[in-house]
Amino acid sequence: MSSPTVRHMKTLFRIEWTLFHRIKSNYVFVVLVPAMLLFTMRSVQTRLPLREHGIEAGPLMVSTATGVLLIFSLYSSVTGLYVARREELVLKRLRTGEVADPVILAGGASMYVAICVTQIVVVVAALSVMFGAMPRQPLAAAAGLLTGIALMTAMAATTAALCRTVESVLVATLPAIFVLPMISGVYIPREVLPDALGEALLFAPLSSTIDLMRSGWTGELTAPETLTRTALATAWTALFAWVATRRFRWEPRT
């Protein structure tokens, strides 16, 4: 990155960080809600026939935690952020300066990325200790985290393009919040589903990220499989980024 780009990213990060702390309800949504979901999903997963399918509880909870936090702490939050800043004409004013479009979007999202990564690191570390499951493929886990962050940010920009107002964000994000975890192995491992369905759901947007994170603790993916999952996640990210580039609106509809 060039020096001006870094400077702009830091400035946007500081602005969003300050605004985040002014609204105390942000702590409830970004911290408490994912924690409650994780507790609930732990109860659900204990009722699944995991051992019959050779699934370890520790790595499964690691991938579940990662998926939940990426969707709730990053995707839904960044979608709302983009729409709110557009309605406030912040994005329009930023574009009149020297800041490039990708930097505006990345800089705005950087604060939520930092929060999400911190949450994932803390939760995953705690789960590893609780279940005695140490990482076996750190590179696979790192690839899963990076592709997940990029994918959720691109999805947020695409979803924001569909939203007319901040109030419409809740409706626009519902498909990803409710459907995406169900089809990507976040809530229910694909191994417990019928074989044909499980194989088909491998191509769901977030499935590769979940597989990579779980393999980081189980070591179940071979090198070619890891590269395939990374490429698939990258392809989904590129698709959403392309749609966002064509459809993203920088000012309110008139």
pLDDT at 96 (0 to 100): 85
pLDDT at 58 (0 to 100): 79
- Checking if the pLDDT of 59 tops 80, the result is yes
- Checking if the pLDDT of 146 tops 90, the result is yes
pLDDT at 254 (0 to 100): 52
DSSP 142-205: HHHHHHHHHHHHHHHHHHHHH-SSGGGHHHHHHIIIIIHHHHTTSSS-GGGS-HHHHHHGGGST
Q: What is the mean pLDDT of residues 12-23?
A: 85
Q: What is the mean pLDDT of residues 63-77?
A: 91
Band of pLDDT at residue 188, cut at 50, 70 and 90: confident
Band of pLDDT at residue 193, cut at 50, 70 and 90: confident
- Checking if the pLDDT of 3 tops 80, the result is no
In angstroms, the CA 92 to CA 82 distance is 11
The pTM of the full predicted model, rounded to 2 decimals, is 0.89
- Checking if the pLDDT of 180 tops 80, the result is yes
pLDDT at 70 (0 to 100): 94
- Checking if the pLDDT of 49 tops 70, the result is no
Band of pLDDT at residue 36, cut at 50, 70 and 90: confident
Select from 233, 225, 38, 232 the least CA-distant residue to 127: 38
Band of pLDDT at residue 45, cut at 50, 70 and 90: low
Band of pLDDT at residue 48, cut at 50, 70 and 90: low
Mean pLDDT estimate for the chain = 87
Q: What is the mean pLDDT of residues 195-218?
A: 92
Q: Name which residue leads in pLDDT, 36 or 164.
A: 164
Which ranges constitute the DSSP H helices of 23-131?
A: 25-27, 33-45, 57-69, 76-87, 90-95, 101-131
195 residue type, one letter = D
* Highest-confidence segment of 51-60, 66-75, 90-99: 66-75
Q: Work out the number of other CB atoms within 10 angstroms of the CB of residue 101.
A: 13
- Checking if the pLDDT of 122 tops 90, the result is no
- Checking if the pLDDT of 2 tops 60, the result is no
In angstroms, the CA 134 to CA 59 distance is 9
Q: Work out the number of other CB atoms within 10 angstroms of the CB of residue 169.
A: 23
